[in-house]
């Protein structure tokens, strides 16, 4: 087993758990974004507020981080 695959197999489960937590946080940020958007529309806003834009950027960043932590476990060496 190479050093890299040993490293991956040791931290893989922790990364998967973090990825799942981040996915949940991204969902919460999306909920906040939509809640803010609904409030803005009810007040007659014609475009997204700075709060909505900031929430959208934060959600996308968290989604990217979650995706980066998801990786396939190393396949066993055939030979």
What is the mean predicted confidence (pLDDT) over 53-67? Answer: 97
Q: What is the CA radius of gyration of the chain?
A: 19
Domain count, the chain: 1
Identify the residue whose tokens are 């050093």: 3
pLDDT score recorded for residue 1: 46
Let me know if residue 49 belongs to a domain: yes
Main-chain dihedrals φ then ψ at residue 61, nearest 5 degrees:
-65, -40
CA 52 to chain CA centroid, nearest Å: 17
pTM reported for the whole predicted model: 0.75
Return the higher-pLDDT residue of 62 and 2.
62
Give every CB contact of residue 19 below 8 A, 6+ residues apart in sequence.
Answer: 66, 67, 69, 70
Residue 76 lies in a domain: no
Segments forming the whole domain that contains residue 11: 3-68
In a domain, 78, yes or no: no
pLDDT tens track for 8-43: 677 888 999 999 999 999 999 999 999 999 999 999
């Amino acid at each position: 087993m190479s050093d890299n695959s040993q490293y991956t197999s040791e931290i893989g489960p922790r990364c998967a758990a973090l990825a799942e937590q981040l996915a949940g946080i991204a969902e919460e940020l999306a909920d906040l974004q939509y809640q803010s958007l609904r409030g803005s529309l009810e007040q007659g806003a014609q475009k997204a507020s700075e709060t909505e834009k900031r929430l959208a950027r934060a959600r996308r960043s968290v989604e990217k981080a979650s995706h980066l932590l998801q990786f396939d476990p190393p396949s066993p060496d055939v030979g």
